Structure 1
Amino acid sequence: MTTLVLGGTGKTGRRVIDRLTALGRPVRSGSRSSSPAFDWADLDGWPAVLQGVESMYVTYYPDLAVPGSQADIRALTELAVQSGVRRMVLLSGRGEPEAQACERIVQESGLEWTIVRCAWFMQNFNEGYLLDAVQAGVIALPAGDVAEPFVDADDIADVAVAALTEDGHAGRVYELTGPRLLTFADAAAELSAALGGPVEYVPVKPEEFAAGAAEAGVPAEDIEMLNALFAEVLDGRNAYVVDGVREALGRPARDFAAFAQNWARHLRG
């Protein structure tokens, strides 16, 4: 039976697809560029995407913390039940009330569920909106000096695939972090050391971040979401480490230094 990966072109989704494919599992990518296409704004197109699906990995765009996410997740889980889906793994965020409300919808759906609740991705620095800033040597964010236990997207994918393909993960909430707390200044220093060039963190006000992001071409709705997330979850509420990766996989979480060094090796070819 097929596993559907919603957000199949995203940071974790494409990693999940790669792992499932390597295991020889039938997998379907759900994205606006796939066929059949999946778009969170086009509910009429969802049934075709869920046809013949036994399990699904769900990432919500742009983030479960945004208004409207609960209605979409409720509609999706109801359709999943009607379509014969058996197992759902939901990617969620730490310290986000809207995300936790979405988790409860999945938990009450009657599906076999697993919640993968994550810290900020390490890959935001090299695959997301911070890449240009790192390459320019200045990470300017309204994050103050709050520490975050950045988590590797490869760990998230490993946990998601285990939950999709193995028994023993149903009904579990895995909270995933890296093994250390780092401020953004700490992260910049480790990136600088690994990459061999200066990378500096500069704390800015939300309006300064918005102006800089707009100048860099970031869409206005993304800027608004990012500023809201910085204000909501980078207030110290998530400044602690948990051992969810070990709980799920029996091994420790990957460290930020290893992520930075692996990126540097990749750049050197």
Structure 2
Amino acid sequence: MTDLRPDGGQDTAQNTVLVTTARGKTGRRVAERLAARGAAVRAGSRDGGARPGGTPFDWEDPGTWAGALRGADAAYVAYYPDLAAPGAVDAMARFGRLASDAGLRRVVLLSGRGEPEAVRAEDALRAGFPGLTVVRAAFFAQNFTEGLLAGGVAEGAVVFPAGSTAEPFVDADDLADVIVAALTRDGHEGVVHELTGPRLLTFAEVAAEIGGAAGREVAYEPVTADEYAALLQGFGVPAPEARWLAGLFAMLLDGHNASVTDGVKRVLGREPRDFGDVVREAFR
């Protein structure tokens, strides 16, 4: 199976690819696309050994990493809970060395856009695997339909510490398409791709667009980082993790990410999908 990409390079999809979080929002999409292109997918997860076609892989158990990498040609790395989290730098340094020792040709890392601590983790992985491809993503549009904020949306409210800041929400399907291109095509080694959607939206505008797509009222309720941390604790998130997550979101949405990029178009040769299209599809 060989396809030609827009710039004339060849697609080498017949690889064995480890997807480190194959049941996550992006990992599931990446795994499905790779399988459709003929790749042998190692679907990594904590219970991978108990699932058909699964591969044991747990970020909290480094003993599972080498076996998952052995014999693979490439790997998609999505670190849980976030590259800015404590312990990520050490984990990425170790994973990079193992990937090099295993002879992988490509490693693609999902990173956060505008996260200084995530850049440290990127550098740690790159030190072990110099050809690393980094994909830095804006806030996912699908966080409102199948992720972090979907429960609140179902109840008619988007509660988040974003104030009036605008964000260029990126479609997770666009993100997966870019990641698959980087995993299967030459020319992405050593490159950093920064991905956003095509326009900026405030969370109030997001709530209005979701409400229009769903045919019911959805309101945005801004809260402070401390209030959001308390809300997370009410849902059972441990206090240290809740404070860390709330602080991370508040930092990401302080305005420094309020710009769009052409990253999707440069890789895929087409415009990124608009937030409105994503939510209309989700609620049709």
- 1:128-173 deviation line (CA, Å, top 9, x unaligned): 1201100010111111111110001001100000001111222211
User: What are the Cα deviations for residues 81-119 of structure 1, in whole angstroms up to 9, with x where unaligned?
Assistant: 111111100000011111111222333334432110000
CA contact (8 A) 2:30 2:177 kept: yes
CA RMSD, aligned part only? 1.4
**Which residue is equivalent to 2:136?**
117
Q: TM-score, normalised by structure 2?
A: 0.89
Q: Residue 98 in 1 paired to residue 117 in 2?
A: yes
The one-letter code of the counterpart of 1:17 is A
SS in structure 2 opposite 1:108?
A: helix
Amino acid at match of 2:28: R
1:60 matched to 2:74: no
Q: Which runs of 5+ in 1 are unaligned?
A: none
Residue 12 in structure 1 maps to residue 31 in structure 2: no
Report the Cα distance in structure 2 between the residues aligned to 1:111 and 1:120, rounded to whole angstroms: 27
Residues of 2 paired with 1:231 and 1:82: CA distance? 38
- Bigger drift between 199-208 and 244-253 goes to 199-208
For this pair of structures, how many residues does the alignment match? 265
Structure-2 residue corresponding to 1:149: 168
Aligned residue number for residue 4 of structure 2: none
Shift in Å, 1:8:
0.8
Is 1:132 aligned with 2:151? yes
Task: Return 5+ residue gaps in structure 2 as ranges.
Answer: 1-14, 50-54
1:12 partner SS: helix
Q: How does 1:230-241 map to 2 (within 5 A)?
A: 230-241=249-260
CA–CA distance in structure 2, aligned partners of residues 255 and 12 of structure 1: 18
State whether structure 2 residue 53 is matched by structure 1 residue 71. no
Contact 1:87 1:111 in 2 (8 A): no
- Distance in 2, matches of 1:182 and 1:222, equals 27
- How far apart in 2 are the matches of 1:82 and 1:99? 24
Structure 1 residue identity aligned to 2:177: D
Q: TM-score, normalised by structure 1?
A: 0.94
User: How far has the Cα of 1:46 moved from its partner?
Assistant: 1.4
Q: Is the 8 A contact 1:69 1:98 kept in 2?
A: no
